[in-house]
Amino acid sequence: MTTFLSPQWAFERYEAIRSRLPRAEFPSQSTFGQSLADTAQHFDAYILDAFGVLNRGEEAIAGAVDRLQELRDLGKRLIVLTNAASYTRVQLLEKYRRLGFDFTADEVVSSRDVALASLPVLESGAPWAAAALAEDDFSDSPFPLHNLHLDPSLYERAGGFLLLSSQNWSDADTIRLRDALRQNPRPMVVANPDLVAPRVDGLSLEPGTIAHEIADQLGAQPLFFGKPYKNAFDVALARLAGIPKSRIAMVGDTLHTDVLGGAAAGIGTILITRHGLFRGLEVDPFIQASGICPNWVVETT
């Protein structure tokens, strides 16, 4: 059963782990608008979060498909940068097309891809253990991955752990992984640094929450791949070579991943408020409390 968390909890937890997040500079105030259409004269390219911008769970956000087509018609470049690490690139493209979006393979960058491309080689041929869906397809991995959900003996014998999904993950699993790492320290790679993700029914717990809880207790430093970290933005920005950073905007629904990550990468930032973390809330108190100020705040995609 999925446990849904509150926006206030997520915000406070992001603030508590702020020392592990990138540093960035922010504008003194935001410009406000209704949708991305209001920002079009200011940017030539958009790096788009998925959850809270394009979709919530398995539902497309109303008007998002048409808005992106309008931006394409204006000559804007589009890149999706998602922390949805449970999907292979092929599966992501299939999902977006099912929801009505027309992204090409070159227009999609996932934290899973970034993490798999950077997995360290383990000593003595020890296997990687992945926290993943039972049906996860590991054919895109450069190293053999073994599903921790299906083989609990991996807690003892794995050479490293890769966190892809927190679905079906329990507090007991967190304790078992923590104890396994305490007894035998090994790499813990996090391919989804998000603490929560917006679903139709609320905010679900994501792998970043698990990793930071273990890091707090062990004093360990996980290897994070995905927003807000530089590794993910480097890949996305490489797809937009030739466009000045001042003309590129990161569009997302969270302050501590999308806006902070975009600002740290030196690009513009746009916060969408209606569909994601801050749905139904007044966002200004959160901006003031965190000091994470987007260039733009708009209601919807």
Predicted pLDDT at 199: 77
**Predicted confidence (pLDDT) at residue 123 exceeds the cutoff of 90:** no
pLDDT tens figures, 133-149: 988 989 999 989 999 99
Lowest mean pLDDT among 37-41, 90-94, 124-128, 184-188: 124-128
User: What's the rounded Cα separation, in Å, for the pair 118 and 43?
Assistant: 31
* Percent helix / strand / coil, the chain, rounded to 5: 35, 20, 45
Whether the Cβ atoms of residue 32 and residue 299 lie closer than 8 Å to each other = no
Length of the chain counted residue by residue: 301
Residues 6+ apart with CB under 8 A from 3: 204, 205
pTM: 0.94
Of all residues in the chain, the percent with pLDDT exceeding 70 is 99
Predicted pLDDT at 3: 61
CA distances from 285 to 11, 23, 229, 295 (A): 11, 20, 25, 16
Whether the Cβ atoms of residue 213 and residue 91 lie closer than 8 Å to each other = no
Average of per-residue pLDDT across 62-67: 97
**Predicted confidence (pLDDT) at residue 57 exceeds the cutoff of 80:** no
Residue 51 burial (10 A CB sphere; 0-12, 13-18, 19+):
buried
Predicted pLDDT at 168: 87
Of all residues in the chain, the percent with pLDDT exceeding 90 is 86
Which residue from 23, 59, 19, 49 is spatially nearest to 111, judged by alpha carbons? 49
Using pLDDT thresholds of 50, 70 and 90, give the confidence band for residue 5: confident
Predicted pLDDT at 1: 43
Q: At what angle do helices 207-218 and 171-183 cross, to 10 degrees?
A: 40
pLDDT tens figures, 208-218: 999 999 999 99
Predicted pLDDT at 85: 95
User: What's the rounded Cα separation, in Å, for the pair 154 and 174?
Assistant: 14
Average of per-residue pLDDT across 157-170: 95
pLDDT tens figures, 260-277: 999 999 999 999 999 988
- Residue the block writes with tokens 């806006």: 259
Predicted pLDDT at 141: 93
Average pLDDT score over the chain:
95
User: What's the rounded Cα separation, in Å, for the pair 210 and 215?
Assistant: 9
Predicted pLDDT at 202: 77
